[in-house]
Amino acid sequence: MKNIKQIFLYLLIIVSLVLIIKTIYDSRDIGSAREDLSSAQESLQVSNDKLIEARAIITSMEKKIGQYEIRVEMIRAEMDSIALSFEKTHAKNWDDLQRIKNELIKISAKLRELRKKNKEFE
């Protein structure tokens, strides 16, 4: 009977030691997991900040592209105006001259509108 009690006591001590050791290792794993979570949270914050910066840069670039598109349209309209002015001096008949004048009026209106849009960007 004494032997059984001693065996039982030894088994209880061994199980207790195993549980203590397991608890120590589990607490280390929990600490490591907390550190990993903290690191991941910091990385997410940095990523979020970079995303906000990227959006601001993209918005700025979109505005610049819009401004350059307007400038290209203005240059094309001015080129058309110059070409029509040349045609106007070499018009062969009255109808041709009137057609050229009407086109010049349209181009002038378009240029005024484009210049207004261009000023909005400045």
DSSP, collapsed to helix, strand or coil, labels residue 32 as: helix
Distance CA 16, CA 8 (A): 12
Question: Are 83 and 107 in contact, with CB atoms under 8 Å apart?
Answer: no
What is the structure's pLDDT at 1? 66
* pLDDT tens digit at each of 122 positions of the chain: 678 888 878 888 888 878 877 777 776 777 777 888 888 899 999 999 999 999 999 999 999 999 999 999 999 999 999 998 888 888 888 888 899 899 999 999 999 999 998 888 76
CA dihedral defined by 29, 34, 38, 41, rounded to 10 degrees? 100
Q: Which helix (H) or strand (E) holds 120?
A: helix 94-121
Residue tagged 């010049």 (tokens): 104
**pTM of this structure:** 0.58
Distance CA 114, CA 69 (A): 10
Q: Domains of the chain: which residue ranges?
A: 2-121
